[in-house]
Structures are given as structure tokens and as C-alpha cells.
Structure 1
């Protein structure tokens, strides 16, 4: 593999409750090793059918607001055709249509180019799967 493309898999314990997990520090640590001082793109991908990646503000209530909005859009009840797992689990399989399983972000001089309040987050509403993988890939 050339140094123009580098990848790493993070193993995230998201637990047994709905969560928004801030991955920004993990992304920055990866870029310190992979990017050096180069420009490029960081791709973040979660290879799960019931989780997504969001770029949002965290810590000021926005992460809880996102989960509340998802509850409004995708209620955890018995309306879903997909019926294995916890009650309402079918909604978790619809989540990636609203919160995609990937994001591609600019890297300038080895640093992630985020806005002042933006963070890279794993959005996991699936209480049945407490372990997640997130693939970080840097392309120079």
C-alpha cells in the first residue's frame, strides 16, 4: 500500500443505549500519523446496517437533539416490517437513509478542516449491537 492511501479500523464500544459518540479526537490522532503535513481527504465509514456518521456540534445538547429528532422520525415501535431484535429495531435499519454510514472531509496540511463547532460522530441507535467498527481512510 502506498503512503497516498492509509487506513485504520477503530473498535468502538457504543454500549446498550442509543449514543452519539464523538470520534473527532480519534480522527485527528489518525491524521497525525497518516497525513503528516499533506493535503487530502479523510473518509470515515461504519460498515454496519444500523449506524451512521454525522458531522454535528456536540456537548451543547445537539447530540441529544439529534437522537430526539430520530425518535420523532423513526419511532421505536411495532410499525416496522424488519422485526428481529429489540422492539422497534426495524427503525435502526432505516437510520442510514437519514444518517449515512460515511463522511468524506477535507484535510489541509495534515489537519481535519472542520468548522468551529463541528465534530465527527458515530450515531448508533441499535441497542442490540454494543460493538462497532469505524474505518478511517486518508487519501493524499
Structure 2
């Protein structure tokens, strides 16, 4: 019998600018090994105070629209009380309240059960920290 809980940590380089990084293929690859064709749940968690996980369409402009909306909602200026790092970095610490640091997704017969246009994405507006970890956990 396989373990009911299996985990894997992804190491993602996001670079020095704002980014939406599609992690769907990495999630599917992990499930191919961890789920063994079983039903269960995939939890995706980013253990950083300045990044989040979003489920959205990518490649058709929605990822750029999300970053534009975040720039409008959370401008990188001097209004933030949290002031270490690059100018406006305080907004990066507010990001996880709008784009949470986790998502839990259904897995059916070992496959990620996403809608037609949905992708699992890491959202990172913090150019001060270009290296991220993302923990994938399958419970089944």
C-alpha cells in the first residue's frame, strides 16, 4: 500500500520582475508519481510572505491582466508601513491577502481536475526574492 500523503518541493526561479508562473505541468507530473491513479486532493502551498497561488487562465492575457490589477490595487509606492527592501515592497506583503498562498484541488483517477482553461499558477510580485519554493502535497 502506498502512503496516503506524499509531498514534493518545487524550486521556482521567478526573476526580478512581477510574474505569473504556470505550475500545472509540474503538478501533473507530481501526481503521475504520487497519486497512482487514486482520487484525492492536491494542496499547493508557497511558504513565502510575498507570493500566492492562483487558479486562472494563462497565455490569453489573463495572467497579464492579473498583474495589472494587482499593480492598480497594490501600487509599489511609499504608502506602505512595511518598508524594508525595494521601494513599495510593503505591497508584496499584502499580496497573500488577495492571492492566498495555497490552493487545494480535486484529483480524480490520479489526474488534476481543472476546468478547460484553468492553470495552477505561482503569483510573485516581489523582485527582491527571485527564488521560490512551492510545496505540493497529495492526500489520497
TM above 0.5:
yes
Report what 2:37 is aligned to.
Answer: 37
SS at match of 1:83: coil
SS at match of 2:94: helix
What are structure 2's unaligned runs of at least 5 residues?
none
TM-score of the pair, normalised by structure 1: 0.98
Question: Equivalent residues in 2 for 1:1-140 (5 A)?
Answer: 3-140=3-140
TM-score of the pair, normalised by structure 2: 0.98
CA RMSD across the alignment = 0.6
User: How big is the shift at 1:36?
Assistant: 1.1
CA deviations over 1:91-123 (Å, ceiling 9, x no partner): 000000000000000000000000000000000
CA deviations over 1:19-66 (Å, ceiling 9, x no partner): 000000000000000001100000000000000000000000000000
Distance 1:31 1:54 in 2: 19
What are structure 1's unaligned runs of at least 5 residues?
none
SS at match of 1:31: helix
